[in-house]
Structure 1
Amino acid sequence: MAEKKNNNILRNFNPSETRGKIITCKAAVVYGPEEAFKIEEVEVHPPQKMEVRIKILFTSICHSDVDAWKAQPESRRAFYPRIFGHEASGIVESVGEGVNDVREGDYVVPIFQAECGECKLCTCEKTNTCESVSYTNTVMLSDGKSRFYTTDAKPIFHFLNTSTFSEYTVVHSACVVKLPSVADDTRILKRLTLLSCGVTTGVGAAWNVANVHSGSTVAIFGLGSVGLAVAEGARARGASKIIGIDINPHKFIKAQAMGVTEFINPKDEEKPVYEKIREMSEGGVHYSFECSGNSDVLRDAFLSSHEGWGLTVIVGIHLTPKTLPIHPMELFYGRRIVGSMFGGFKGKSQLPHFAQQCLQGVVKLDDFITHELPFHDINEAFQLLIAGKSLRCILHL
């Protein structure tokens, strides 16, 4: 028998009772860098103009959450207490003035990479960034105030436009994507949680940024969720050879099931990794993807691509002040390098179609979900990711 839809999960959900009111609910609050998450009561204020309040049903943990929790970079250390989280799915509880593309009861995913649809960046086909709602300044909402408060009225900082480690959250409408109607099935909604960041970032890097072509060769540095999503994207595009590079040998079995055809553990190699890849790919790969956020790895990724046409895509987040480890003259040999954010997807306008492709099996979302836990076990879920034992742990709220 098919799994029941969300009727049981939403048995206490009645927007008419909460619309326009402060909601008291559970959230995972952190009071300092690397401190344990505390599940406690918080107050979530109503959405203001162009905002949406969402009842979160599922959320998951990304390495960007871990980096921010560790207060990297240093400038983030002041923003506590805080509610992290940016991968989730849920249902719209209420909307603020001016919001007309989603309404109460719609199933949605929040996204950190906004698309207002009106600024000069959103109306340009060459970029998926938005100048109206940036992800770089997201500790409060657009009016400079929080929508989260402790029960003694102290403000709680937001995170990456989303703050999904809470039973309810408030986000700008530019950061809300309406899902297909079939998302009212619990199994489907749980999978689509992954589109908020990791899978979209990796698959999009292969499809939108690199435009991997059939028969091409690919090297992926770092086989976490994003790296494996790159592999999924390259596999779906018909890449002939997908080389995975990681220092954790336990990742190789999972990677093989997700499209990786060759493996390299840098710890086992006597020569530079880029030389090994050149030997394996007749002089270098067509596309290399740096998914680890390590500048030394970035250099290997760049030099592993083929002279004349090789393209390196930076997918990992580089938080240190180090600059690119590349001499300008090395670019004269025809290799190129480009950054990728959110896989080049324009969230509100392009993610619904991508969701349909995932549901049709073009991308196998189930393979990314390695663990599921109740929300109150969030500290355990964090440690699983830090220890390299999980790809994505889905938390049930």
Structure 2
Amino acid sequence: MDNKVAARKAKVITCKAAVARAPGQPLSIEEVQVDPPRWTEVRVRIHFTSICHTDLSAWKGENEAQRAYPRILGHEASGVIESIGGGVTDLEEGDHVVPIFHGECGDCDYCRRPDTNMCPKFGANPMKKTMTSDGKVRFWSKDRTEPIYHFLNTSTFSEYTVIDSSCVVKIDPNFPLKKMSLLSCGVSTGVGAVWITADVQAGEKVAIFGLGAVGLAAAVGAKARGASQIIGVDVNPEKFIKGKVAGITDFINPKELLTPVHKVIQKLTGGGGVDYSFECSGDLLALREAFLSTQMGWGLTLLLGVHTKPDTLPIHPMELFNGQRLVGCVFGGFKGKTQLSDFAAQCVQGAVDLDQFVTHELPFERINEALQLLKDGKSLRCVLSL
């Protein structure tokens, strides 16, 4: 169907959504209205969504600057395109898709560079609360008296959502949608950090700070690359069980130590430290220990965790003269529109076992239970079916 015809055909949809109305309060399951997609936008019927720590942080209101209520959170999902707006050339109704919070317009100087996945127009921005095309919302209360704000380009805690086509990736319709939802953030971020940003090679040593879904995905990626030593650091000993399956060879619980973590890592690695460290916890102390645990001369620390407080880096400038480096890594370095569909195919072919990241499955109406599971450290990913 021609996209102009599809845009005229699309009508307002009333559906269920989980609405955040205040920080830390249970999400409210409500009927909302979802407007048709406008220029370069698509409307997606969400089939599966899951909860990431970024959603948890926003729900708790940990960063006051990003508070906006009412708001529909969520950014890990999979679904099928219900309708398309004008100007959409690479997607059609019925396409199976994965929303991505870190988009790729394909036209800017950043998108044209092979060495970055930044896109000023559609990159991750938790402060952004409206659509890019016109600065307005597509969600409304059932009686249309109250606008409902967007989140991270996607807002997947809704049966239907409107997303710019730059933040939607088409996938093979034969791929299982439930598993594909994991590629919207956590798994892609962890594996991509190892494969793309760090480009870990066989025989190298890594340390991972924080063994949530992102950290375990980094471990899976390191194991697949043939890392000789994968050290996992976490204060929750229950994470070590999953970590062993993911490929972690050594475990460190900072609560059980009398010496700094980086000293223990240096000892475990024969004195020099690891080639790469991945900070996935969002904790400043962990970031410092991750940096100090890397090898002098070439060690690289990748910052993956979300730090919500306005604190500065816990590193003295002179420490950088030892040759160790620190870089931030968004979405694992993946260019979503360009590279994610190929990664999905690799996962289906067995490069990454996605099943190990799903610890719980619940119907969408029980989303608050899923939030609590993540908050309590009892789940990696709870997949919600809509």
Corresponding residue for residue 197 of structure 2: 209
- Which one of 192, 210, 235 corresponds to residue 180 of structure 2? 192
Relative to the length of structure 1, the TM-score reads 0.93
Distance 2:323 2:118 in 1: 27
Greater CA drift, 16-25 or 343-352: 16-25
Distance 2:248 2:328 in 1: 22
SS at match of 2:174: helix
Equivalent residue runs for 1:110-129 within 5 Å: 110-129=99-118
Equivalent residue runs for 1:137-152 within 5 Å: 137-142=127-132, 143-152=134-143
Any unmatched runs of 5+ in structure 2? none
Match status 1:289 vs 2:278: yes
Match status 1:252 vs 2:244: no
Corresponding residue for residue 384 of structure 1: 373
Shift of 1:131: 1.6
Equivalent residue runs for 1:1-397 within 5 Å: 19-77=9-67, 79-136=68-125, 137-142=127-132, 143-153=134-144, 154-183=146-175, 188-282=176-270, 283-397=272-386
Distance 2:171 2:62 in 1: 32
SS at match of 2:17: strand
Distance 1:21 1:253 in 2: 49
Letter paired with 2:345:
Q
Shift of 1:17: 12
Distance 2:128 2:217 in 1: 26
Distance 1:132 1:166 in 2: 24
- CA deviation profile, 1:150-177 (whole Å, cap 9, x unmatched): 0121100000000000000000110000
Contact 2:291 2:326 in 1 (8 A): yes
Relative to the length of structure 2, the TM-score reads 0.96
Corresponding pairs, count: 378
Letter paired with 1:100:
T
Distance 2:328 2:123 in 1: 17
Shift of 1:339: 0.7
Distance 1:44 1:18 in 2: 15
SS at match of 1:139: coil
Distance 1:135 1:293 in 2: 17
Shift of 1:369: 0.3
Contact 2:7 2:83 in 1 (8 A): no
- CA deviation profile, 1:44-80 (whole Å, cap 9, x unmatched): 0000000010000000000000000111211123x10
Distance 1:161 1:86 in 2: 8
Letter paired with 2:13:
I
- CA deviation profile, 1:210-251 (whole Å, cap 9, x unmatched): 111101111000000000000011001000110000000011
Distance 1:288 1:217 in 2: 9
Percent identity between the two aligned chains:
59
Corresponding residue for residue 4 of structure 1: none
Contact 2:7 2:84 in 1 (8 A): no
Contact 2:6 2:84 in 1 (8 A): no
> For the structure 1 residues 156 and 287, does the alpha-carbon distance in structure 2 shift closer, same or farther, using more than 3 Å as the test?
same
SS at match of 1:122: helix
Corresponding residue for residue 8 of structure 1: none
Shift of 1:18: 10
SS at match of 1:226: helix
SS at match of 1:121: helix
Contact 1:19 1:93 in 2 (8 A): no
Distance 1:59 1:205 in 2: 23
Distance 2:9 2:292 in 1: 56
Letter paired with 2:243:
A
Distance 1:239 1:148 in 2: 46
- CA deviation profile, 1:250-281 (whole Å, cap 9, x unmatched): 11011100111100000111100000000001
